[in-house]
Amino acid sequence: MACALALAGCSGPQSALDPAGDGADRLALLFWVMLIGAAVIWAATLALAFFAARTRRGRFDERAGSALILWGGAVFPTVVLTALLTYGLSITPDLRGPGDGLKIAVSGEQYWWRVRYQPKDGVAVESANEIRVPAGERVEFMLEAADVIHSFWIPSLGGKVDMIPGRTNRLVLHATRPGIYRGVCAEFCGRSHALMAFPVVVMERAEFDRWLAEQAGTVNVSTSRGAELFLAQGCGACHAVRGTEARGIVGPDLTHFGGRGTVGAGILDNIRENVARFILETELIKPGSRMPSYSMLTQEEANAIADYLGSLQ
C-alpha cells in the first residue's frame, strides 16, 4: 500500500518523474541513475558495517585496514562521483541547444507571468498567465524578472531556470506529448509566491498555428454593461484589451482572457463566479498583489464585468 501511494506521487501534471518532454525525460533518467547508485552504495555500506560488527577483533591486520580505507574511502567515491558528474554534464549541451524558430519571452512579476510569443515568421502576440507550445518542436524561452528573483519551472517538460532582474536567461524545451501541464515559480518571491502558477498547454502544430493566429487578432468592441463598467472603473489603466480603449501595461493583457483556463495565475478555474470573486476580493485571494480589491462594486456589477471578460475569446 505504501509503495502504491509513493508511486502515485510520481505522476500528474506537475511531476518531474512523469516526463512529457526531452529535457524532463533526461532529468528523470539522471534522477533514477543517481537514486539507484545511492541505494547500491547505501546497501554496500550497511553490509560492510554489519560484517565489521560480526567480525572478531584482530582478524585483519593494519595493512588490510589501510587498503580498505584507501580503496573504499577515497578511490571508490572519487570514481563514482566523477562518473556521475560526467554523465550529468553530458546531457547539458542537448538541453541548451538552439530552438526550432518559436521564441517565447516570459517575465515573472509579483505575482503573475507576462508572456510574449515571437514566431519566426509573424507578428508578436501578447498574453499572460498561460503558455501554449507546439508538440515535437524545440521552443526557446527568454526569461526575465521585473521586480524580484523568480524561477521558471515546468516539471513535466524540463528543468528550472532563475529569472533575475536586469538579466535575460535562456531555456529550450521540447514537449513531446500533447496535454495540459502545470508550471510554477520555484523561487520564493513574496507573500503570494505559492499562488503564482501557470497552465502549459501542449498542442499539435496545426492546432497551435490556428490558436496563435486567433490570439494575434483584436476583439470586437462590446457595448455591454460589463464593458462599460470595465472602462468606467479604470481597469483599462492597468490592463489592455486590444481593439478597445483599454491600453494598460501594468497588469496582464486581457485581450483573449475568456479563452484561458485559469484566473489569477493558475489558482482558480476561469468561470464567471471565480472571476467576479477575484474582482471583489483580490487582496484576500492574492495577498500582496498590485491589483486592489474592487469591494465597492455590487455583486451584479462584478458579474457583469466577469461576463464581459469571459466573452473575450
Per-residue pLDDT of 89-112, as tens digits, reads 887 776 667 778 899 999 999 999
Task: Give me the pLDDT at residue 288, please.
Answer: 93
Per-residue pLDDT of 157-216, as tens digits, reads 998 999 999 999 999 999 999 999 999 999 999 999 999 999 999 999 999 999 999 999
Sign of the torsion angle spanned by Cα atoms 94, 98, 102, 107: positive
Sheet holding 131-134, edge to edge: 131-134, 197-203, 179-185, 150-153, 161-163
**Looking at this protein, which amino acid is placed at residue 157?**
L
Provide mean pLDDT across the span 10-39: 84
CATH level 2 (architecture), domain 225-310: Sandwich (2.60)
In a 3-state reduction of DSSP, which class is residue 151? strand
In a 3-state reduction of DSSP, which class is residue 236? helix
Task: Give me the pLDDT at residue 5, please.
Answer: 47
What are the residue boundaries of the structural domains of the chain, listed by start? 14-95, 225-310
Say which residue the cell 501511494 belongs to. 5
Q: Which phi-psi region, left, alpha or beta, contains residue 166 (left: φ > 0; alpha: ψ -120 to 50)?
A: left
Provide mean pLDDT across the span 258-273: 95
**Looking at this protein, which amino acid is placed at residue 96?**
R
pLDDT at 275 over 90: yes
Provide mean pLDDT across the span 77-92: 83
pLDDT at 9 over 60: no
Percent of the chain with pLDDT over 90: 63
Task: Give me the pLDDT at residue 72, please.
Answer: 78
pTM: 0.85
Percent of the chain with pLDDT over 70: 94
Q: Quick check: 205 and 136 in contact, CB under 8 A?
A: yes
Per-residue pLDDT of 18-31, as tens digits, reads 888 888 888 888 88
Decide which of 231 and 30 is more confident: 231
Q: Return d(Cα 202, Cα 208) in angstroms, integer.
A: 8
